[in-house]
Amino acid sequence: MTEQLRPDGSLRHLLTLEGLSRPQLELLLERAQHLVRPLGARAAMSQALAGATVANLFTEPSTRTRVSFELAAKRLGAHVVNLEMQLSSRVKGESMLDTVYTLESLHVDAFVIRDAQAGVPQLVADHVAPHVSVLSAGEAHLSHPTQGLLDALTIYQRKQRFAGLAVAIVGDIRHSRVARSNWHALRTLGVTDLRIVAPPALMPEAHEFAGATRCSDFSAGIDGADVVMMLRIQKERMDQANLPDGARYFAAWGLTGARLKEARPDAIVMHPQPMNRGIEIAPEVADGPQSVIRDQVRNGVAVRMAVLAEVLGTRAGST
Ligand code: NCD
């Protein structure tokens, strides 16, 4: 199995946040923060990756992640190719690897991969040439490392610390790669009061999320929280028979203004999107003063620029 770190400790692939050290995460966040610009200002740009080519291989739907990886690469001067991967033409890893080999011959330097099947980013990382990097843009229900980083950056921008924060992740934790990557990121960065708040059917297996507090009472779970992160019901990963009814779910588990009062008055509200307004979150909360959901999107480009620069930086532009 190919490691995501090079022998010198630098990042070659980003497949998971698991195993990355606190200084490594902090460095990526610090670099990303330098690339954040206020809305209305021109986006940060450089030619750091001039001459490099990045391919987006997404076999699951995506709006923010795909567009922000594309903008991130372009704003660093790289070329980008977006492959419209037909789900039907992909039979397990085989055809994915053929695609990868083809693109490698065309001088692609980095593959950004989103796939519903566990293990695909690692499979590709195991087969690419030594100069090529693989970045996961979401792997099954397991991990979404750049989302974990951009969420950590968003929290830090508002709270200026991780230690001492109470962070509640609420909703369909069981099927959420976002929750898993946030758990890796936040505990490594020093959050000790991490709560996973979900109805019993949406709780993860008992061996997962070590160190987090499990709570199936919404009010108790967000009581005094500094951060309330809402998650979408991952319908695509659920047996249709088990799908909760939208109105009933909202009544029990939707974040409304009244419920948000259980958290700290200065709590921030997060959501990785896409949002089901009126199911896991009330529209007035999603658009309200405590929401940082749009900051999350903006930070996504900065984080992906920092990651791309880190994995490709040393070679890009060499002739
Ligand atoms: C998430 C994903 O795809 O994992 N979206 C995203 O990348 N921001 C969350 C989701 O689909 O609910």
Question: What domains can be seen in the chain, in order of their start residue?
Answer: 22-144+298-312 (3.40.50.1370), 145-293 (3.40.50.1370)
The Cα–Cα gap between 316 and 124 comes to 21
Four-residue CA torsion sign, 249, 168, 223, 155: negative
CA of 272 from ligand 1 middle (Å) equals 6
Atom of ligand 1 nearest to the CA of 232: 12
Per-residue confidence (pLDDT) for residue 89, from 0 to 100: 55
Supply 51's token pair.
């001459």
String of DSSP letters for 72-134 = HHHHTT-EEEEEE--GGG--HHHHHHHHHHHHHHTT--EEEEEESSTTHHHHHHHHS-TT-EE
| pLDDT tens figures, 11-45 | 999 999 999 999 999 999 999 999 999 999 999 99
pLDDT over threshold 80, residue 119: yes
Supply 168's token pair.
């509640």
**316 φ, ψ (degrees, to nearest 5):** -60, 145
The enclosing H or E element of 246 equals: helix 246-253
pLDDT over threshold 70, residue 90: no
pLDDT over threshold 60, residue 290: yes
Four-residue CA torsion sign, 180, 296, 15, 23: negative
String of DSSP letters for 47-79 = -TTTT-EEEEEESS--SHHHHHHHHHHHHTT-E
When pLDDT is cut at 50, 70 and 90, the band that residue 95 belongs to is: confident
In degrees, rounded to 5, the angle at the alpha carbon of residue 121 between the alpha carbons of residues 162 and 77 is: 75
CA of 267 from ligand 1 middle (Å) equals 22
**Nearest one of 237, 195, 234, 187 to 213, comparing CA atoms:** 195
pLDDT over threshold 90, residue 174: yes
pLDDT over threshold 70, residue 264: yes
Per-residue confidence (pLDDT) for residue 93, from 0 to 100: 64
**Nearest one of 171, 228, 219 to 194, comparing CA atoms:** 228
CA of 176 from ligand 1 middle (Å) equals 8
| pLDDT tens figures, 55-75 | 999 988 889 999 999 999 999
Residue nearest to atom 12 of ligand 1 (CA): 232
Binding-site residues, ligand 1, Cβ < 6 A: 64-65, 138, 144, 147, 177-178, 232, 272-273
pTM value? 0.95
Q: Please name the residues in contact with 294: beta carbons below 8 A apart, sequence gap of 6 or more.
A: none
